[in-house]
Chains A and B, each alone.
Chain A
Amino acid sequence: MSETSVLAAGVGLPLRQRLPRTGAIDQVGVEARAAELAKRSIKRESKLLALELAIRCCDLTTLEGQDTPGKIAALCAKAIRPDASDPSVPSVAAVCVYPNLVAAAVARLAGSGVRVASVATAFPSGQSPLPIKLAEVADAVAMGADEIDMVIDRGAFLAGRYGRVYDEIVAVKEACATAHLKVILEAGELGTYDNLRRASLLAIAAGADFIKTSTGKLPSAATLPVQLVMLEAVRDVYEESGRRVGVKAAGGIRTSKNAIQYLVQVNETLGRDWLTPELYRIGASSLLNDILMQLRRERTGIYQSRDYFSND
Chain B
Amino acid sequence: MTELSRRGPSPLLPVDWTYAPAPESREIAAIAERYGLFIGGEWVEPQSGAFFTTLSPRDEEPLAEIAQAGPADVCAAVAAARAAFPAWSGLAGSERAKYLFRIARLLQERAREFAVLESLNGGKPIKESRDVDLPLAAAHFFYHAGWADKLEYAFPNRSPRPLGVVGQIIPWNFPLLMAAWKLAPALAAGNTAVLKPAETTPLTALAFCELLAQAELPPGVVNIITGDGSTGAALVEAEVDKVAFTGSTEVGKEIQRRLAGTGKRLTLELGGKAANIVFDDAALDQAVEGIVNGIYFNQGHVCCAGSRLLVQESIADAVVEKLKRRMASLRVGDPLDKNTDVGAINSQAQLTKIEELVAAGSAEGAEIYQPPCRLPEKGYWFAPTVFTDVSQSHRIAQEEIFGPVLAVLTFRTPQEAVEKANNTPYGLSAGVWTEKGSRILWMAERLRAGVVWANTFNRFDPTSPFGGYKESGFGREGGRHGLEPYLSFDSG
Contacts and interface: CB of A to CB of B under 8 A. Distances in A.
Contacts of B15: 49, 53, 272, 275-276
Contacts of A32: 289
A41 B4 CA distance: 31
Nearest to A32: B289
A132 to B, nearest CB: 34
B435 A278 contact: no
Nearest to A29: B286
Given A29-B455, A88-B6, A275 B14 contact: yes
B435 A50 contact: no
B22 interface: yes
Interface string A3-25: 00000000000000000000111
- Residue from B286, B329, B456 whose CB has the most chain A CB atoms within 10 Å: B286
B286 A276 contact: no
Contacts of B260: none
B16 A24 contact: no
A40 B286 contact: no
A232 B6 contact: no
A277 interface: yes
Nearest to B16: A272
B435 A24 contact: yes
A267 B15 CA distance: 10
Given A275-B14, A277-B11, A41 B455 contact: no
B20 A90 contact: no
Contacts of B321: 239
B92 interface: no
A268 B19 CA distance: 11
B216 interface: no
Chain B residues touching A, majority SS: loop
**What range describes how many residues of A lie at the interface?**
35 or more
Interface string B272-290: 0000000001111111011
A305 interface: no
A28 B20 CA distance: 30
B18 A113 contact: no
B346 to A, nearest CB: 23
A272 B16 CA distance: 6
A275 B17 contact: yes
A29 B283 contact: yes
B102 interface: no
Given A25-B283, A33-B289, A268-B329, A40 B339 contact: yes
A43 B22 contact: yes
| Most A CB within 10 A of own CB, among B12, B20, B285, B286 | B285
Given A24-B283, A30-B285, A272 B14 contact: yes
A29 B21 contact: no
Contact of B456 (A24, A25, A28): A28
A173 interface: no
B278 to A, nearest CB: 12
A50 B285 CA distance: 26
Contacts of B455: 26, 28-29
A281 interface: no
A91 interface: yes
A49 B286 CA distance: 30
A308 B455 CA distance: 50
A304 B428 CA distance: 57
A306 interface: no
Interface string B452-472: 000110000000000000000
B378 interface: no
B11 A33 contact: no
Contacts of A91: 11
A143 to B, nearest CB: 24
B438 to A, nearest CB: 16
Contact of B11 (A30, A90, A273, A274): A90
B437 to A, nearest CB: 13
Interface residues of B, number: 34
B13 interface: yes
Contacts of A46: 17-20
Most A C-beta atoms less than 10 A away, residue of B6, B13, B15, B283: B283
Contact of A43 (B3, B6, B20, B127): B20
Given A26-B286, A29-B283, A29-B289, A43 B14 contact: no
B17 A53 contact: yes
A47 B339 contact: no
B161 interface: no
B332 to A, nearest CB: 14
B283 to A, nearest CB: 4
A39 B21 CA distance: 14
A56 interface: yes
Contacts of A28: 286, 455-456
A42 B337 CA distance: 11
A39 B127 contact: yes
Nearest to A271: B329
Contacts of B281: 24
B11 A50 contact: no
A33 B3 contact: no
Contacts of B131: 39
B481 interface: no
Interface string A269-288: 00011111111000000000
A33 B456 CA distance: 11
A56 B283 contact: no
A32 B4 CA distance: 41
A112 B462 CA distance: 60
B361 to A, nearest CB: 27
Interface string B282-303: 1111110110000000000000
Given A29-B455, A46-B18, A88 B339 contact: no
Contacts of A232: 285
A47 B286 contact: no
Contacts of B17: 46, 49-50, 53, 263, 267, 272, 275
A46 B7 CA distance: 17
A44 B22 CA distance: 9
A30 B21 CA distance: 27
B286 A41 contact: no
A108 B289 CA distance: 47
B329 A33 contact: no
A87 interface: yes
B480 interface: no
A45 interface: yes
Contacts of B284: 23-24
Contacts of B265: none
Interface in B63-120: none
17 contacts: A24-B281, A29-B285, A29-B286, A29-B456, A30-B286, A40-B19, A41-B19, A41-B338, A42-B22, A43-B19, A43-B20, A46-B18, A46-B19, A87-B6, A88-B7, A239-B321, A276-B14
Give me the 5 closest cross-chain CB pairs, A-B, nearest first. A29-B286, A41-B22, A26-B283, A26-B286, A41-B338
Given A26-B435, A43-B19, A53-B17, 8 more contacts: A24-B281, A24-B284, A29-B287, A39-B127, A39-B131, A43-B22, A88-B7, A239-B321
